């Protein structure tokens, strides 16, 4: 590899960014945006609050959630009886977040190692 490129990459403040989607027959099943939405619903108990924090309309957030549940074949959220309009994550929703975050951690570590081996050594 060119030593100019190596030198530049070694001295610049680079950051490797990766996004992972799970698709089936060109339909997105799991995406970074969906996982972020689920994390916010889990923290705030509200689809409206989660959507607002993502700068999404309520309709967009509800549509993405509904579409994901339809494609996955199971519920990601459940209505919370104590709070009008409130939601809690289903066990499957919690598991999806946990497994996606573990996957992303492993993918990021692998990619950083490959970046180092291919571009910096």
Q: What is the pLDDT of residue 83?
A: 60
DSSP for 6-25, please give it: HHHHHHS---------EEET
Angle between helices 32-44 and 58-72 (to 10 degrees): 110
Q: What is the pTM of this model?
A: 0.85
In words, the CATH class of domain 29-120 is mainly alpha
43 pLDDT exceeds 80? yes
Interacting residues of 46 by C-beta distance below 8 A, sequence separation 6+: 83, 85, 86, 87
**3 pLDDT tier (thresholds 50, 70, 90):** confident
**1 pLDDT tier (thresholds 50, 70, 90):** very low
Q: What is the pLDDT of residue 68?
A: 96
* Residue extents of the structural domains in the chain: 29-120
pLDDT (average), residues 39-55 = 97
- Kindly report, residue by residue over 8-32, the tens digit of the pLDDT: 777 777 788 999 999 999 889 999 9
- Provide the token pair at 72: 């996955």
Q: What is the pLDDT of residue 14?
A: 75
- Provide the token pair at 5: 């490129």
């Amino acid at each position: 590899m060119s030593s100019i490129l190596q030198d530049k990459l070694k001295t610049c403040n680079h950051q490797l960014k990766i996004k992972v989607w799970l698709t089936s027959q060109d339909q997105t099943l799991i995406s970074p945006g969906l996982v972020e939405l689920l994390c916010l619903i889990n923290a705030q108990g509200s689809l409206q609050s989660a959507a607002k924090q993502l700068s999404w309309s309520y309709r967009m957030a509800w549509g993405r959630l509904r579409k994901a549940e339809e494609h996955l074949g199971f519920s990601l959220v459940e209505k919370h009886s104590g709070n009008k309009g409130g939601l809690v994550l289903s066990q499957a929703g919690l598991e999806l977040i946990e497994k996606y975050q573990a996957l992303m951690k492993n993918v990021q570590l692998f990619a950083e190692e490959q970046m180092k081996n291919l571009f910096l050594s």
